[in-house]
Amino acid sequence: MYMRALIKAALTLIAVGALAFTATAGTLEDVKSRGELRCVVSTGIAGFAYPDEGGTWKGFDIDFCRATAAAVLGDASKIKAVTSTGKTRFTKLNSGEGDVLWRNTTITFSRDVGVKLTFVGVNYYDGQGFMVNKSLGVNSAKELDGASVCIQTGTTTELNLADFFRANNMSYEAVTIEKNSEARAAYLSGRCDIYTTDASGLAATRSTFPNPGNHKILPEIISKEPLGPATRQGDDQWADIIRWVYNATVTAEEKGVTSSNVDSMKNSNDPEILRLLGVEGSQGEELGLSKDWAYQIIKQLGNYGEIFERNIGPNTPIGLARGLNDLWTRGGLQYSPPFR
Amino acid sequence: MPGTHPDMPPPVKTTGPVAWVRQNLFSSPLNTVLTLLSIWFLWSIIPPFLDWAFVNSIWTAGNRQECWDQMASPALGACWAFIENRFSLFTYGFYPGHLHWRVNVSFILLVFALIPLLYEKLPYRKYGLIYSAVFPFITGWLLVGGYGLESVDTDKFGGIMLTLILGVTGISFSLPIGIMLALGRQSNMPVLRILCVLFIEFIRGVPLITLLFVASTMLNYFLPPGTVFDLLTRVLIIVTLFASAYMAEVIRGGLQAITKGQHEAGDSLGLTYWQANRLIILPQALKISIPGIVNTFIGLYKDTTLVLIIGMLDLLGLGDASLADAQWAGLANEIYIFVALFFFLTCFGMSRYSIYLEKKLHTGH
Amino acid sequence: MDSPSVSTQKPSLLLRLWRNQEHRSIAIQIITMVILFSLLGMIGNNVATNLEKAGKEFSFGFLNYPAGYDITFQPFISYSPTDTHTRAAIVGILNTLLVAVSGVIIATILGFTMGILRLSSNWLVNRIVYVFLEFTRNVPVLLHILFVYGIFLYTLPVPKKAISISDTVFLTNRGFYTPAPVFEDGFNYVLTSILIAILIVFFFKRWAYKVQDTTGKIYPVFTISITILIGLPLLTFFFSGAPLSWEMPALKGFNFKGGTSIKPEYIALTFALAYYTACFIAEIVRGGILAISKGQSEAAHGLGLRPNRTLQLIVIPQALRVIIPPLCSQYLNLTKNSSLAIAIGYMDVVATIGGITLMQTGKEMETMIIVLLTYLFFSLVISAFMNWFNRKMALVER
């Protein structure tokens, strides 16, 4: 009896002393009661997530995280960046350290089904490309037989590369490096003939070269890399919120609602704009959010186009064209279901 | 017949710079070769580095392009403006700007906590040591907040501050745990002994990065469902346990050097196990192991850089994250040299101190 | 009437048991065991619940699926992306082993050299080694690895401008290319002769020591052994008609083809780990040599031993006794530090099974168990070997 009491006491101490239990209620309630949204983000991908000199997180993914905070909490600044590496990102989401994953994550079958995530949309359509030095005189990825390839690991990149070279019956030498800064250095030194990663990453990396003009990105895109946010499986309400946060930014761009004209748009004649901004309809309540959730997103962050231009657009050092990520009305793939 | 002998040549000079050079650099053919090789080595390394680091370097610029525009050709020299631009971030991490004073106070408190530890002749050293022992708790409160202070989440910690937190916590808590483990390993209770041996050998047998990875991902599986506890706490626990295992081995060396007579003397005085250890055995054993303990500290302190592998942003991690800012990306060398310099200065200080102690211990015997 | 008051004064049974040292020790041990096992049980239970909740199952089945990624450096067994995760893991483990073994050898040589140079009377050499040691020891090893890799990549030329040594060996920043041996039919004889040479040396050594013990006559064992070891296979090689040809490396397209190549990632990692560890070894060696009092060498001289015999028979055996235990932990450190390989793209066990495989399959638990067991096994082997060596050395003592 005595001993059992002792063990019980010890175990209770361990359990109570070291751990703080959190309720496993819905994510939305958790976020609201905490007053802060925790986004799993990268430790640094140019244009998508990085700290500025004041320690504020910036980037395309971060802005979407802020948009989520604006919708749920009404304040885009109430975010916490849970930094993660490629290896730890899914665990951080699944263990509850983060509420949502906004981190350059390619949607694949195995991640959706095997790693047990719910992907709710594609906020950036990417594809794996190749960059070579112009002096090699290579014009197509099909001419790369026997080349050395620098790869930044942590993504689906190595698998795509192996598939591409196998499909074209070519041999290659892979140099798989963990971080972009080292992979970049290896490519620049001539260790590799080719640098391969997502096309957005290639453009971003090239912009940091001493002589960007000496390098070119080959026309072939060898893979589909739909990058999108993910939530834990089994919380449909929360997944809906993330999905419609993204949809709201796209719809706003489509309807011409921007952060500067959003107030005057409240008097618009277009019923869909009125529903989007919460003037009519009950979309907000149905999501479990305030009536003006989408208004807050657009007011504080802007629409999809504004977020794109600010972080990775042609006028930034990254300098990406809209391309596939243009609105469907302009020949791109960004398309939102109607607000109805 | 004085005066008829021819003058003898004067003896080879044994003092002065020429003689010094001859004796110390060119005393034998092998030495001459070694000297010439050394001079060639220094000549081929130092001037290019100085050119890059100082002659062609730029200290003020708004971004990388501005920096490179000021040079004859891009990347010809170092762009230290990057470090200057990020200095506050590298020091305080993401700690809120209006609360930086709390970090500054902690730095100052750290210095005061070190003085009684390092300087033996300090007056009232006993009280100083008590302060050093409670210092981690005071600083913990100061940095995390609560109880009257605005609280700050631990994921706002970063940069030099996080590096020091990891180092100091690991160092201050691993010593007592290490002592317990070392005593446990010497214990005559087989269960305790085996447990301690298993623990020490397991920790020493695997790399820190795998343990950190276990802490950051697998620990969630070990805890009751729905439990979340702070990543920094988890990492601090792992770092402390890691250092304790090494510490235990160093202290065990010290314990083994204590002769059996000392134990027997304790027994004959009627002291209990703990009294004997506290009053007789440990003071002697610890004194012998101090150089080893300091070296373990240095090793642990350098190893804290590995937390970047699980996404924590210490000095090196923040440097890496900063390289993702398109305004500055591509200046990895500057970052790495800065980080290397920081670690060198702090570790060199510690190792000098350990050498000083070693010398002092030698004369004591 | 007294008995009740006596029994109240008498401490309870538990207290009495507690005060008895032997019983107390048993009680403590039992309590520890119970706490330990309940903790383990709790953890096991939690793992099961959590895995079930996450919809994952604990199984090593994924090891039989194709890995799908490529590994650059596979010197021991062949591997292609269509092979299984198991094979990828084995390649990774072998790569870790390769770095560990070659790193340990180079670190030992460098460490002993630097330790002796630190005692050199040449002021400049002494100072350079000192500055190098202090700088290296006080900077994290990860930075050294990145540094060496950077130096390697930027100082050596690209393949088109390769440094060629009489057109057989090529040095580039993509690796060192050397001719690869192609064994022909008669090469078995050479292999057999190597075996025979080793046997001869073994028995010769035993015989020579016996002679020395009984008569005091000393044979130059080392020189004779080396001559036999090299000479016999060489003679066989030429008598059997030189059954060996070389496949030359040549620049074709982007890279050199043919021959064997050593990759820069391997060289940089091994070298960085080796010199980093060597700096610690140097201090150990210096300490060990300084620990042997001068009287020992003087006594040996007094007995008429020549200087090199003094070093061989008196100083080194004694210094080794001081050196070996800390040397062992440096070897362990080197092995463990090799886990940073992925930073520069060397595919070791952490990069393969504990990296890309983990990220693809999401099996943290299973892959990490494999990685941890690998390192534990290496550590145990190194410890066991060094303990054996230490015991062997200790026999020399008194």
Per-residue pLDDT of C45-58, as tens digits, reads 888 888 887 777 78
Angstroms from B66 CA to nearest CA on chain A = 12
Residues of C with CB below 8 A from A11's CB? 35, 38-39, 42
Q: Considering only the beta carbons, identify the residue of B85, B308, B329 that sits closest to A46.
A: B329
Residue A18 with chain B: CB contacts under 8 Å: 229
Report yes or no on A51 lying in a domain. Answer: yes
Q: A92 in a domain, yes or no? A: yes
Q: Average pLDDT of chain C?
A: 84
Across the interface, of C51, C139, C329, the residue whose CB is closest to B221 is C51
Both B205 and B298 in one domain: the answer is yes
Domain span including residue B287: 152-364
pLDDT score of C366 more than 70 = yes
CA A196 to chain B, closest CA, distance in angstroms equals: 17
Contact between C64 and C81 under an 8 Å Cβ cutoff? The reply is: no
Q: A260-292 pLDDT, tens per residue?
A: 999 999 999 999 999 999 898 888 898 999 999
Q: Which of A273-277, B254-258, B320-324 has the lowest mean pLDDT?
A: B254-258
pLDDT at A21: 39
Number of structural domains chain B divides into: 2
- Tell me the pLDDT tens digit for each residue of B58-79: 888 888 888 888 888 888 888 9
Chains that touch B (3 or more CB pairs under 8 A): A, C
Whether residues B131 and B163 fall in one domain:
no
C387-390: long-range contacts at Cβ-Cβ below 8 A with a sequence spacing of 24 or more? C387/C328, C389/C324, C390/C321, C390/C324, C390/C325, C390/C328
The minimum CA-CA distance between C364 and chain A, rounded to whole Å, is 9
Strand partners, A151: A176, A196
Selecting from B74, B318, B326 the residue whose C-beta is nearest the C-beta of A46 gives B326
Give the residue, C52 or C267, on which the prediction is more confident: C267
Q: Stretch B192-201: mean pLDDT, rounded? A: 91
Give how far C362 is from chain A: nearest CA, Å.
6
Tell me: do B312 and B177 sit in the same domain. yes
- B108 and B240 fall within a common domain: no
Give Dmax (Cα) for chain C.
Answer: 111
Whole-number Å distance between alpha carbons of B288 and B284:
6
Q: How far is C281 from chain A (nearest CA, A)?
A: 29
Per-residue pLDDT, C231: 87
Q: Which of B106, B141, B176 is the last residue of a domain?
A: B141
Q: Are residues B223 and B343 in the same domain?
A: yes
User: What CATH code is carried by the domain that includes residue B211?
Assistant: 1.10.3720.10
Q: Considering A193, A223, A253, which residue would you say is the last residue of a domain?
A: A223
Residues C133-188 pLDDT 10s: 999 999 999 999 999 998 888 888 888 888 888 888 888 888 888 888 887 777 78
**Residue of C113, C143, C324 to mutate when probing chain B, most B C-beta within 10 A:** C143
* pLDDT of amino acid C7: 47
Looking at per-residue confidence, does C24 or C394 come out higher?
A: C24
Residue B28 lies in a domain: no
Other beta carbons within 10 Å of C380: 12
| DSSP secondary structure letter of residue A179 | S
pLDDT score of C261? 84
Domain boundary among B141, B165, B194: B141
Query: Do B106 and B170 fall within a single domain?
Result: no
In the block, tokens 């699980």 appear at B310
Closest CA to C249 of C187, C162, C153: C162
- What domain range includes position A265? 27-125+227-330
The reply to whether B191 and B317 lie within a common domain is yes
Q: What is the DSSP letter of A214?
A: G
Closest CA to B337 of A210, C146, C131, A50: C146
- Considering the domain boundaries, does residue B297 fall inside one? yes
Specify the pLDDT at position A231.
Answer: 93
Is residue A177 predicted with pLDDT exceeding 60? Answer: yes
The mean of the pLDDT values for chain A is 87
Looking at the fold, whether A145 and A255 belong to one and the same domain comes out as: no
Q: What is the pLDDT of residues A328-337, one digit of tens each?
A: 999 999 999 9
A185-221 pLDDT, tens digit per residue, is 899 988 899 999 888 888 888 888 888 889 998 988 9
Query: Has residue A4 been placed in a domain?
Result: no
Q: How far is A96 from chain B (nearest CA, A)?
A: 7
Partner-chain contact C376 B213, CB within 8 Å = no
By C-alpha distance, the chain A residue nearest C263 is A175
Can you read off the two tokens belonging to residue C254? 């982007």
Q: Is residue A121 part of a domain?
A: yes
Q: Which of A186, A104, A98 is nearest to A150 (CA)?
A: A186
Residue at B48 is within a domain: no
pLDDT value for C206: 87
- The answer to whether residue B319 scores a pLDDT higher than 50 is yes
Mutate to test the interface with A, among C15, C24, C57, C70 (most CBs of A within 10 A): C70
pLDDT at A15 over 70: no
Question: Is pLDDT above 70 for B267?
Answer: yes
Residues A67 and A212 in one domain: no
| Tokens coding A23 | 């309720």
- pLDDT value of residue A154: 61
pLDDT at A19 over 60: no
Q: Flag if A44 and B89 touch (Cβ within 8 Å).
A: no
Partner-chain residue, chosen from B41, B204, B340, that has the shortest CB–CB distance to C143: B340
By C-alpha distance, the chain A residue nearest C359 is A87
Verify whether the Cβ–Cβ distance A91 to C364 is below 8 Å.
yes
Report the pLDDT averaged over residues A149-178.
Answer: 86
The DSSP annotation for B206-244 comes to S-HHHHHHIIIIIHHHHSPTTB---HHHHHHHHHHHHHH
CB contacts of C360 in chain A (<8 Å) are 110, 159
Residue B38: per-residue pLDDT: 85
Contact A11 C69 (CB under 8 A): no
- CA C331, C137, B251, C40 torsion: positive or negative? negative
Question: What was the pLDDT predicted at C180?
Answer: 83
Comparing CB atoms, the residue among A15, A50, A80 nearest residue B324 is A50
Model confidence, pTM = 0.85
Give this complex's ipTM: 0.85
Q: For position A155, what pLDDT does the model report? A: 63
Tell me if B30 is assigned to some domain: no
On whether both A258 and A306 belong to a single domain, the answer is yes
Q: Which residue has the higher pLDDT, B345 or B267?
A: B345
Q: What is the pLDDT of residues C300-317, one digit of tens each?
A: 888 888 877 777 788 777
Q: Which of residues 221-280 of B touch A (CB under 8 A)?
A: 223-229, 231
Question: Looking at residue B97, what DSSP letter applies?
Answer: G
Mean pLDDT of chain B: 86
**Per the CB < 8 Å rule, is B324 touching A97?**
no
- pLDDT higher for C317 or C95? C95
> Is the domain of B133 the same as that of B268?
no
**Roughly what angle, to the nearest 10 degrees, separates helices C141-155 and A180-188?**
20
Q: What is the pLDDT of residue B229?
A: 76
Instruction: Give the Å distances, CA to CA, from B304 to B160, B180, B185, B204, B297.
Output: 11, 23, 27, 16, 11
Nearest residue of chain C to residue B300 (CA atoms): C140
Which residue among A223, A240, A265 closes a domain? A223
Q: What is the pLDDT of residue C377?
A: 93
Q: Is residue A20 part of a domain?
A: no
C6 pLDDT tier (thresholds 50, 70, 90): very low
Predicted local confidence at residue B248, as pLDDT:
92
pLDDT tens-digit readout, B97-153: 899 999 999 999 998 888 888 777 888 888 888 888 888 889 889 998 888 888 888
Evaluate if residue C262 carries a pLDDT over 70. Answer: yes
Q: How many domains does chain A have?
A: 2
User: What is the rounded average pLDDT of the residues C328-333?
Assistant: 88
Give C66's strand partners. C84
CATH of the domain at A273: 3.40.190.10
Q: What one-letter code names the amino acid at A290? A: S
In the prediction, which pLDDT does A77 show?
92
Query: CB–CB of A172 and C70 under 8 A?
Result: yes
pLDDT at A18 over 50: no
Q: Could you tell me which residues are beta bridge partners of residue A118?
A: A231
Check residue C169 and give its pLDDT. Answer: 86
What subunits touch chain C, counting only 3 or more CB pairs under 8 A? A, B
Task: Choose among A182, A183, A191: nearest Cβ to C173.
Answer: A191
CATH superfamily for C85-140+261-394 is MetI-like (1.10.3720.10)
Does residue B337 fall inside a structural domain?
yes
Contact pairs from chain A to chain C, CB under 8 Å = 120
**Closest residue in chain C to residue B304, using alpha carbons only:** C140
Higher pLDDT, B221 or A223: A223
Q: Give the residue from C99, C166, C33 showing the smallest Cα distance to C344.
A: C99
Which residue stretches of chain B are H helix?
Answer: 16-25, 29-50, 64-69, 81-92, 100-118, 125-144, 159-186, 190-205, 208-213, 219-222, 231-256, 260-268, 273-276, 282-303, 315-322, 332-364
Burial class (CB in 10 A: 0-12, 13-18, 19+), C116: middle
Nearest CA in chain B to A94: B220
Give yes or no for residue B295 having a pLDDT over 90. no
Break chain C into its structural domains and give their ranges. Answer: 2-53, 85-140+261-394
Cα C320 to Cα B318: distance, rounded to the nearest angstrom: 43
In a domain? residue B215: yes
Do B152 and B143 meet the contact criterion of CB atoms below 8 Å apart? yes
**Most confident listed range (B165-169, B262-266, C20-24):** B165-169
* C28: closest chain A residue by CA: A3
